[in-house]
């Protein structure tokens, strides 16, 4: 029977690793067992089925999370979980099971696994691609594609349209763990090829019905919650054909994998381009918003440096804000007002943070209930979270003043859920005493124990005690049925106590106890045989079951009957508790929309309090955000670099930047290692911080709304796609010149390097000219081509054509002593001091000496203008060095 079930499931899920539950183990068979054994480093063994030797391996249930992490997260395999479902049986019968696959676990469909990152979303994204695409390499014509993505662990669901050209940018921002394509999409399709080149994890699904045929939980979309942090028309979104196809593909894939755990989905929130700052994938990576390019993790990223959030949901929200800052001034101002409110009230801030520290990840817990996986511990967490929300709202009532308008706008959108909390606290036993971890107590009754109880008296859970000390989940008086059953159980336990005492006195056996075990059923146990069993041996009422050197067990009819009544009553209580817990789960599910909304409001509250803590710790100021092209920062500081220097006991040198309608572009020159790239990134990061509602590291800041942010900094080669570093830089530059608008902010570093000096200088000049005359955007342009100053009409620190020239100062006392001031000042730097940097890098003295002699010869002009005879002479000189 087992072999037949396993073969059927292997044929049904051929693309999956099949793990079959057999008792207290998960097992793998046939050829898959060899792969599982190798990946998990567990012993490979065998068994005989129908006279054939079959390979197999297995591991205990307790290790499932550890091994799922290896199979799914590390090796990107699909795992089909085949579970046991007990058939109805009479007491005393050997239990029988049906086995069926209840869920297929993939990288994008994790629910509540312990290895799921609590601080990051785990998105599954479906992509609806057109069969006919634009001509490859033509950026002016690009087909529209539909995107739909969901975090199944929180229920957050989004959709939008994109173009093939912009798809890479959206994927970098969303960062899905798994991308689903229509399996009929050809392998040569440009989108499929692009995804494979970028090393995204791609799955395939069958063609699916459009979103119009999909039922959603409610008419409330994922982010249509606070009205403070989301741009929403208030009407139900109308999805495009591409979006509908992507939504249908995603839901079809979820149905095929979640199976019995498939929840009803929220209506997807339609993400619009308007209202959010647009950043391409190069910018997100170069600015290290979420991950550091050096470490490969969050250490050194902007998220890591500014994170002061207390809740996991707040951290996920902060991460999303960083990659999609707002362009709505009312929204930004509302967030800033909350930051200012908490900044001026440190005691209230600390009080609320203390309350938030007791809040669990409500969004993921709510989703567990909708997926049918919520347990008693989760109910306790929901109750504690709702109580905390109520306490936070009470703080508002205690200190209500005219200054509370901003926070009242946020908190007033919360739904009062005291009724749900009262139902849970009334139902659950000793809520205050048990706390969040009560169900982990060895005396607590869990669902597995209840299932065993239902199989018969010989499989009584070891957690059930017959001395009245069993801890139940539901209060005995919550229903009349439970009250009657607990009364009956109390009377039976009292009879048991009296029976045990009577037998001890009658037979002179102080060590006699009444026990139950799976092997011997209800039996009388004698712990000291030599002393206490003399009279029992003479009584025909006691039948010896087993005996050891010091103990002996007996069957005794009266205890067997009484014990059976206790077990039957216990099973009835367990079934009644399951019924109550099911009712409570349904009530949580019915309130899920309100719970989600409250949780999202608390996430936003957590982020704004975190911003106020950050401003206090790092001396950040409130920026003035305006609807113009001004960008004026006085003594701005790079948040990440400043923290790195502080840890070394060093001080960051601040700098000021002024861009406006009269002078939108600044050309920055200076020596190597002087901090030009740092200044460029700092300028971009301050704009991002300002538009997510945070304060910024500066003495004063005025930031005009940035609709698109572009970064051409720190490119490297792309050998996989046959692109040199220079080619990558040119592709990025071309993208900027095509897409930048007058409200955009562009930072460009060393455009034109990697080719000849004259070619590079020409490209740099053309780029600056295009930015000034065509794009007319705000831009910082760092370069070592000081000749550009004359080409652009630089005369005695005057500017022409909208460009302002600045240099990073550098002081040199003698040939071997020099220092960077890192201070920006008007002017043009004529010397990059590359040899000084080479000395700092400890290049061999002979190489430094040769470089100095070569430099003295080359200083007459650009080497491309040296005649052939002079070049030959130069070669002879260098050969003699």
Helices (H) then strands (E): counts for the chain? 30, 29
Judged against a pLDDT cut of 50, whether residue 800 lies above it is answered with: no
pLDDT of residue 8: 92
pLDDT of residue 458: 29
CATH code, domain carrying 133: 3.30.420.110
Q: Is residue 117 part of a domain?
A: no
Q: Is residue 320 part of a domain?
A: no
**Which has the closest alpha carbon to 612: 407, 385, 409, 415?**
407
Same structural domain, 519 and 559: yes
pLDDT of residue 465: 52
**Which has the closest alpha carbon to 678: 726, 636, 624, 620?**
636
Residue 24: how many CB atoms within 10 A of its CB? 10
Pairing of strands 79-86, 97-105: antiparallel
Which of 36-50, 128-142, 456-470, 497-511 has the least mean pLDDT?
Answer: 456-470
Q: Which DSSP symbol is given to 113?
A: -
Same structural domain, 808 and 659: yes
Q: 93 falls in which pLDDT band (50, 70, 90)?
A: low
CATH code, domain carrying 629: 3.40.50.300
Residues 392 and 354: their CA atoms lie apart, in Å, by 10
Q: Is residue 71 part of a domain?
A: yes
pLDDT higher for 722 or 736?
736
pLDDT of residue 597: 93
Pairing of strands 45-49, 52-60: antiparallel
Q: What is the average per-residue pLDDT within 760-782?
A: 92
In the chain, the percentage of residues whose pLDDT exceeds 70 is 82
Report pLDDT digits (tens) over 298-352. 888 999 999 999 999 999 999 999 999 999 999 999 999 999 999 999 999 999 9
Do 147 and 159 contact (CB within 8 A), yes or no?
A: yes
pLDDT higher for 797 or 851?
851
Which of 203-212, 257-266, 731-740, 865-874 has the least mean pLDDT?
Answer: 865-874
In the chain, the percentage of residues whose pLDDT exceeds 90 is 53
Structure tokens at 764: 């740099």
pLDDT of residue 767: 93
Q: 846 falls in which pLDDT band (50, 70, 90)?
A: confident
Judged against a pLDDT cut of 90, whether residue 277 lies above it is answered with: yes
How far, CA to CA in Å, does 768 sit from each of 269, 755, 780, 862?
40, 18, 10, 21
Same structural domain, 635 and 749: yes
pLDDT of residue 123: 96
E strand or H helix at 560, and its extent? helix 557-590
Same structural domain, 157 and 101: no
Of 207, 242, 274, the last residue of a domain is 274
Residues 342 and 226: their CA atoms lie apart, in Å, by 19
Which of 67-76, 178-187, 424-433, 822-831 has the least mean pLDDT?
Answer: 424-433
> What count of Cα atoms within 13 Å lies in the side-chain half-sphere of residue 585?
18
Same structural domain, 70 and 202: no
Do 21 and 51 contact (CB within 8 A), yes or no?
A: no
Mean pLDDT of the chain: 84
Residues 6+ apart with CB under 8 A from 415: 594, 597, 598
Do 19 and 80 contact (CB within 8 A), yes or no?
A: yes
Instruction: Give the residue numbers spanning the domain of 678.
Output: 619-832
How far, CA to CA in Å, does 398 sit from each of 389, 401, 410, 482?
15, 9, 17, 41
Secondary structure (3-state) at 798 = strand
pLDDT of residue 880: 57
Same structural domain, 409 and 473: no
pLDDT of residue 480: 93
Q: Is residue 431 part of a domain?
A: yes
Report pLDDT digits (tens) over 483-506. 999 999 999 999 999 999 999 999
Residues 505 and 417: their CA atoms lie apart, in Å, by 56
CATH code, domain carrying 45: 3.40.1170.10
Taken in order 63, 65, 70, 71, is the CA torsion positive or negative? positive
Residues paired with residue 878 on neighbouring β-strands, in sequence order: none
Output the furthest CA–CA distance in the chain (Å, rounded): 126
Same structural domain, 798 and 734: yes
pLDDT of residue 450: 35
Number of domains forming the structure of the chain? 6
Report pLDDT digits (tens) over 421-441. 999 999 987 544 344 444 333
Same structural domain, 626 and 593: no
**Which has the closest alpha carbon to 15: 80, 111, 99, 110?**
80
Report pLDDT digits (tens) over 555-604. 999 999 999 999 889 889 989 999 999 999 999 999 999 999 999 999 99
Tokens 């704009």 appear where? 687
Q: Is residue 451 part of a domain?
A: yes
Which of 537-541, 614-618, 721-725 has the least mean pLDDT?
Answer: 721-725
pLDDT of residue 833: 74
Q: 185 falls in which pLDDT band (50, 70, 90)?
A: confident
Q: Mind giving me the DSSP string for 834-868? A: HHHHHHHTT--HHHHHHHHHHHHHHTTS-GGGS-H
Same structural domain, 427 and 453: no
Structure tokens at 707: 């609709």
Judged against a pLDDT cut of 50, whether residue 776 lies above it is answered with: yes
**Which has the closest alpha carbon to 152: 180, 171, 173, 193?**
180
Q: Is residue 382 part of a domain?
A: yes
Residues 6+ apart with CB under 8 A from 286: 293, 681, 711, 713, 714
Report pLDDT digits (tens) over 444-457. 334 344 333 333 33
Structure tokens at 619: 């001396």
Residues 769 and 748: their CA atoms lie apart, in Å, by 13
Judged against a pLDDT cut of 70, whether residue 72 lies above it is answered with: yes
Same structural domain, 697 and 785: yes
Q: Is residue 838 part of a domain?
A: no
Do 19 and 39 contact (CB within 8 A), yes or no?
A: no
pLDDT of residue 213: 55
Q: 736 falls in which pLDDT band (50, 70, 90)?
A: very high
Of 229, 248, 274, the last residue of a domain is 274
Judged against a pLDDT cut of 50, whether residue 151 lies above it is answered with: yes
Of 530, 554, 579, the last residue of a domain is 579
Residues 672 and 834: their CA atoms lie apart, in Å, by 6
Residues 409 and 415: their CA atoms lie apart, in Å, by 13
CATH code, domain carrying 410: 1.10.1420.10
Do 839 and 848 contact (CB within 8 A), yes or no?
A: yes
pLDDT of residue 434: 40
Same structural domain, 685 and 804: yes
Report pLDDT digits (tens) over 638-685. 999 999 999 899 999 999 999 988 889 999 988 877 788 999 999 999
> What count of Cα atoms within 13 Å lies in the side-chain half-sphere of residue 145?
29
pLDDT of residue 433: 38
Residues 248 and 746: their CA atoms lie apart, in Å, by 38
Same structural domain, 549 and 531: yes
pLDDT of residue 819: 66
Q: Is residue 92 part of a domain?
A: yes
Residues 236 and 860: their CA atoms lie apart, in Å, by 70
């Amino acid at each position: 029977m087992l072999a037949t079930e396993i073969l059927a499931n292997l044929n049904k899920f051929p693309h999956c690793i099949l793990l079959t539950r057999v008792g207290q183990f998960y097992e793998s068979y046939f050829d898959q067992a060899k792969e599982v054994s190798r990946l998990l480093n567990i012993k490979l063994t065998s068994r005989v089925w129908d006279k054939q030797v079959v390979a197999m391996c297995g591991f205990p249930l307790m290790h499932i999370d550890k091994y799922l992490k290896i199979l799914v997260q590390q090796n990107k395999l699909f795992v089909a979980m085949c579970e046991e479902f007990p058939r109805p049986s009479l007491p005393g019968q050997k239990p029988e099971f049906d086995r069926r696959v209840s869920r297929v676990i993939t990288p994008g469909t994790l629910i509540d696994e312990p290895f799921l990152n609590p601080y990051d979303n785990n998105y599954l994204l479906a992509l609806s691609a057109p069969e006919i695409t634009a001509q490859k390499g033509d950026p002016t014509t690009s087909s529209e594609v539909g995107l739909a993505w969901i975090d199944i662990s929180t229920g957050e669901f989004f959709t939008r349209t994109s173009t093939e050209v912009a798809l890479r940018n959206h994927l970098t921002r969303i960062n899905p763990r798994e991308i689903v394509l229509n399996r009929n999409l050809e392998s040569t399709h440009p989108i499929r090829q692009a995804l494979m080149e970028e090393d995204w994890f791609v799955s395939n699904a069958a063609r699916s019905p459009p979103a119009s045929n999909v039922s959603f939980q409610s008419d409330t979309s994922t982010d249509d919650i606070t009205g403070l942090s989301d741009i929403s028309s208030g009407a139900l979104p109308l999805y495009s054909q591409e979006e509908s196809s992507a939504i249908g593909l995603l839901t079809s894939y979820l149905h095929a994998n979640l199976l019995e755990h498939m929840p009803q989905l929220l209506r997807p929130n339609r993400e619009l381009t308007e209202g959010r700052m647009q950043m391409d994938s190069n910018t997100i990576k170069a600015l290290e918003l979420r991950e550091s390019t050096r470490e490969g993790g969050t250490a050194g990223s902007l998220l890591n440096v500014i994170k002061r959030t207390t809740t996991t949901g707040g951290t996920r929200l902060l991460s999303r804000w960083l990659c999609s800052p707002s362009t709505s001034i009312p929204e930004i101002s509302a967030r800033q007002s909350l930051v200012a409110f908490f900044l001026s009230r440190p005691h209230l801030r600390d009080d609320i943070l203390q309350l938030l520290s007791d809040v669990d990840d409500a969004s993921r817990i709510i989703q567990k209930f909708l997926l049918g996986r919520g347990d008693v511990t989760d109910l306790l967490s929901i109750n504690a979270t709702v109580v905390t929300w109520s306490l936070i709202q009470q703080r508002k009532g205690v200190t209500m003043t005219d200054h509370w308008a901003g926070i009242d706008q946020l908190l007033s959108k919360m739904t009062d859920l005291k009724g749900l909390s009262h139902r849970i606290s009334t139902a659950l036993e000793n809520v205050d005493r048990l706390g969040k971890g009560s169900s982990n107590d060895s005396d607590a009754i869990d669902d597995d124990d209840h299932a065993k109880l239902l199989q018969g008296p010989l499989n009584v859970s070891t957690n059930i005690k017959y001395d009245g000390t069993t801890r139940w989940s539901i209060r005995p008086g919550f229903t009349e049925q439970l009250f009657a059953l607990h009364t009956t159980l109390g009377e039976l336990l009292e009879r048991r106590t009296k029976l045990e005492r009577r037998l001890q006195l009658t037979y002179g056996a102080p060590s006699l106890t009444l026990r139950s075990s799976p092997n011997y059923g209800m039996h009388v146990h004698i712990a000291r045989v030599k002393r206490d069993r003399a009279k029992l041996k003479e009584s025909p009422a006691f039948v010896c079951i087993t005996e050891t050197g010091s103990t002996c067990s007996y069957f005794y009819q009266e205890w067997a009957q009484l014990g059976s009544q206790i077990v039957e009553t216990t099973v009835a209580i367990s079934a009644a508790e399951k019924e109550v817990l099911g009712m409570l789960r349904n009530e949580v599910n019915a309130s899920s929309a309100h719970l989600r909304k409250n949780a999202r409001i608390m996430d936003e509250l957590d982020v704004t309090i975190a911003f106020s803590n950050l401003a206090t710790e790092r001396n950040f100021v409130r920026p003035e955000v305006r609807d113009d092209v001004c960008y004026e920062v006085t003594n701005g500081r790079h948040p990440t670099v400043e923290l790195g220097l502080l840890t070394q006991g060093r001080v960051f040198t601040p700098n000021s930047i002024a861009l406006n309608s009269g002078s939108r572009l600044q050309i920055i020159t200076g020596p190597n290692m002087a901090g030009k790239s740092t200044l460029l990134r700092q300028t971009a990061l301050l704009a991002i911080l300002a538009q997510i509602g945070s304060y910024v590291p500066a003495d004063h800041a005025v930031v005009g709304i940035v609709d698109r942010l572009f970064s051409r900094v720190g490119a490297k080669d792309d050998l996989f796609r046959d692109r040199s570093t220079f080619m990558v830089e040119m592709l990025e530059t071309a993208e900027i010149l095509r897409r930048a608008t007058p409200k955009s902010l562009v930072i460009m570093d060393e455009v034109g390097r990697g080719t000849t000096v004259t070619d590079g200088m020409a490209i740099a000049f053309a780029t600056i000219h295009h930015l000034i005359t065509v794009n007319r955007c705000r831009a910082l342009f760092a370069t070592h081509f000081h000749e550009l100053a004359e080409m652009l009409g630089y005369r005695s620190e005057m500017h022409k054509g909208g460009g302002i020239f600045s240099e990073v100062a550098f002081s040199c006392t003698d040939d071997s002593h020099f220092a960077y001031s890192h201070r920006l000042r008007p002017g043009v730097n004529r010397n990059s001091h590359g040899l000084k940097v080479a000395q700092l890098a400890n290049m061999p003295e002979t190489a430094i000496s040769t470089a100095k002699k070569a430099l003295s010869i080359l200083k007459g002009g650009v080497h491309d203008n040296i005649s052939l005879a002079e070049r030959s002479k130069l070669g002879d000189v260098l050969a003699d060095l």
